[in-house]
Amino acid sequence: MEVVEEYGQAGGGEIPPWDEVVWRILKRNEIRLITYVPDKVLAPLINRVEADDSFRVICPAREEEAVGIVCGAYMAGMRGVLLTQTSGFATLPNVLASLAVPYEIPIVMFISERGTLGDRQLVQTKVWKTMRPALDALGMDYHTVTRADEVEFVVEQTIKQAMATRAPAAIILSPLLTKKNSD
């Protein structure tokens, strides 16, 4: 079987919305904890997991708390992820460098990429420039998803690799993928 067929992209069929694909992959990979701080771009995925009783969904006050919650859950045997936007990620290098990275906790972060491609909010554009350099400085794997036909492969493989290598990772959701949700 070709990789394309394995990930449902062959045959010219309709590709489901990115949030539906991510939701399905989270379930398939036994991710049971979702933490997030509200974000308009991530709202379709947040709404989807909140409506599904197979997930424990927590909305803490800050992203650093979300990382702590996911790390604690992992130590207790539960897999979790963090949903955040670019500016929320900017608050995380310290907690990632002092907890997730050295203790090899495979937290997977979904980051809605803000501050680029037409985003005219000064704060978002300034913070956007720090995201990839911070991920590089932390030695964290990250992948940017720009098209719907990339979602399944990138998300599935990032989660599997993070769990197998016990390393945090990030999936950056480009506005090229999510733009229709943020208008």
Task: With cut-offs at 50, 70 and 90, classify the pLDDT of residue 181.
Answer: very low
- What is the DSSP secondary-structure string of 44-107? HHHHHHHT-TTSEEE--SSHHHHHHHHHHHHHTT-EEEEEEEHHHHTT-HHHIIIIITTTT---
Give the C-alpha separation, 144 to 132, whole Å: 10
Reference 153, options 24, 2, 4; nearest CA is 4
Give the C-alpha separation, 144 to 147, whole Å: 9
Q: What is the pLDDT of residues 34-85, one digit of tens each?
A: 999 999 999 999 999 999 999 999 999 999 999 999 999 999 999 999 999 9
SS3 157: helix
What pTM, to 2 d.p., does this model score? 0.90
Check residue 180 and give its pLDDT.
59
- Average pLDDT along the chain: 91
Q: What is the pLDDT of residues 84-109, one digit of tens each?
A: 999 999 999 999 999 999 999 999 99
Please report, as a single letter, which amino acid is at residue 1: M
CATH architecture of 16-178: 3-Layer(aba) Sandwich (3.40)
